[in-house]
Copies of this chain bind each other. A is one copy, B any other.
Amino acid sequence: MASDRATTHRRLERMDELVSLCARRGFVFPSSEIYGGINGFWDYGPLGVELKNNLKQWWWQRVVRERSDVEGVDSSIIAHPRTWDASGHTEHFSDPMVDCRACKKRFRADQLEDAGKCSAREGSSEHDLTEPRSFNLMFSTMIGASEDAAAQAYLRPETCQSLFNDFKRVREASRQKLPFGIAQIGKAFRNEINPRNFTFRSREFEQAEMEFFCHPSERERWFEHWRDERMKFHHDLGLDPARLRTRSHADDELAHYCKAAVDVEYEFPFGWQEIEGIHDRGDWDLSRHSEYSGKDLGITNPETKERFVPMVIETSVGIDRTCLAILADAFVVEELEGGESRTLLQIHPRLAPIKVAVLPLSKKLAEPAHTLSDGLRKRFNVFYDDAGNIGRRYRRQDEVGTPFCVTYDFESVDDGCVTIRERDSMSQDRVSIDAVSRYLTERVEPAA
């Protein structure tokens, strides 16, 4: 085994390094891979699903459970189709498309640089393009049995509209007073013309959204509160502060109903891209749903008897995008003294898919090592591995971000201790077997 001092390290430079690692180790790979995949759809494997669930649970803990002023919900992906009339999606949620009359291909009018050469005009890059036409990005489907009674419905293109649909019911059931929020995590779908950048722009994705309802006089204060809270969250995930920034939308970028908008951006190898948006949506959503549903979603101030439509501050984070940022940020290749190199994922222990690997130094030690790993498994996600030399087993864990490796050796039988190796520093502690669970709890779980 090479010396475990790192002489140089470099970070992720090209996405294909990460895409390859993700497939090989079972983080993320194309959906329906044996059928050649399906463009814009991805499956999370055994390690990816743990990372994603850890991220979702952290968000839920922070935004819903630790606060008394935010309620969670889990709404259906298919909502009443009038929802999308009220939100404006049926009319406006579309991209401008152009067709090439020669090669019959279709392109986004605002991304013509991606269009390549016209295959119908040998050696030419010149397409023969139509005028742009709009193409709605919602996936549609039909509900019901009989042709005539069947209703066209849509897979939601964002999770937030259900939070407005459920506003009245949730407020009454939870007896919340303003200001308060409603939050959910769930799948959304957009029929993107050009899915790209791995899981960054896909057709099926997961969002964690929160709508915070407040009195008009308090909107600026709450916008600032949530902008700061959400930025703090991304820092707490361990993302490199130098690769995180906020970007305020200029006035001419804002949607007509939007008073202020800030994006949280991360610097991926393919550039700075939005991973979260914090928007002051004003009273647009509740007013529109009041109008379209005929249900008054306004509120009466019990003291002043003033009647008003609450203002909405929205926080909307892409779960897949944030997972991708976490993986891209954590990817490090170290050159070690002795010429060896190691790839590691410096993932925050709370996000790491595997918390601890139990590695007996020899297969002869399998029985007590199994006893140890089975005990830890009730509390932590444990990986047991007794195959191959110990250095190689460490490397395999480094590569998937396991923060701690517990080595059970021949001395352990006598002294009742094991060696715990930390991923990033490769430093080692000798710890009593009885104390391993507490040692790990202090380092991988949030303070209670």
Interface residues, chain A, with chain B CB atoms under 8 Å away: 23-26, 29, 31-50, 52-53, 60, 65-66, 68, 71-80, 82-83, 97, 99, 104-106, 135, 139-146, 148-149, 153, 155, 162, 165-166, 168-170, 173-174, 184, 187, 189, 191, 193, 203-204, 289, 292-293, 295, 297, 373, 377-379, 381-382, 384, 437, 446-448
| Neighbouring B residues of A292 by C-beta, 8 Å | 35
Report B-chain residues with C-beta under 8 Å of the C-beta of A162. 31-32, 43
Contact residues of A: prevailing secondary structure: mixed
**Shortest distance between the CB of A218 and any CB in chain B (Å):** 21
A78 with B41: CB separation less than 8 A: yes
When distances are taken between beta carbons in the complex, the residues of chain B under 8 Å from A45 are 71, 73, 166, 169-170, 173-174
**Chain B residues positioned under 8 Å from A378 (CB to CB):** 66, 446-448
A80–B42 Cα gap in the complex (Å)?
A: 11
A160 to chain B, nearest CB (A): 13
Question: Which single member of B53, B71, B142, B169 contacts A33 (CB below 8 Å)?
Answer: B169
Q: Are A135 and B141 in contact (CB-based, < 8 A)?
A: no
Given A173-B25, A384-B68, A105 contacting B146 (CB threshold 8 A): yes
26 contacts between A and B (CB under 8 A): A24-B173, A26-B174, A31-B75, A31-B80, A32-B82, A32-B83, A33-B168, A38-B143, A39-B144, A41-B78, A43-B74, A45-B71, A45-B169, A45-B170, A53-B74, A65-B381, A66-B377, A66-B378, A68-B373, A68-B382, A76-B204, A77-B77, A106-B146, A140-B141, A143-B203, A378-B448
Question: For A32, what are the chain B residues with a Cβ–Cβ distance below 8 Å?
Answer: 79-80, 82-83, 162, 165
A80 and B49 contact, CB distance less than 8 A? no
> Is the Cβ of A99 less than 8 Å from the Cβ of B26?
no
A35 contact from B53, B82, B446, B448, Cβ within 8 A: B82
A38 to B80, CA, bound (A): 6
Q: Which of B25, B79, B142, B169 contacts A26 (CB 8 A)?
A: B169
Residues of B within 8 A of A448 (CB): 378-379, 437
Pick the contact of A153 from B36, B38, B83, B289 — CB < 8 Å?
B38
Bound form: Cα–Cα A384–B366 in Å: 49
Number of this chain's copies in the complex: 2
Cβ A29 vs Cβ B169 within 8 A:
yes
Name, among A46, A66, A144, A170, the residue most crowded by chain B CB atoms within 10 Å (CB to CB): A46
Query: Which B residues are in CB contact (< 8 Å) with A189?
Result: 78
Q: Indicate if the CB atoms of A145 and B83 lie closer than 8 Å.
A: no
Docked CA distance A292–B32 (Å): 12
- In the assembled complex, which residues on chain B have CB atoms less than 8 Å from the CB atom of A382? 68
- A201 CB, min distance to chain B CBs, angstroms: 14
Find chain B residues with CB under 8 A from A384 CB. Answer: 68
CB distance from A409 to the nearest CB of B (A): 21
Complex interface: chain B residues within 8 A of A34 (CB): 165, 168, 289, 293, 295, 297
Contacts of A187 in B (CB 8 A): 77, 187
Nearest 4 CB-CB pairs, A to B?
A26-B173, A32-B80, A35-B80, A46-B71
Which B residues lie within 8 Å of A169 (CB)? 23, 26, 29, 33, 45
Nearest chain B residue, comparing its CB with the CB of A289: B34
* Chain B min CB distance to A185 (Å): 9
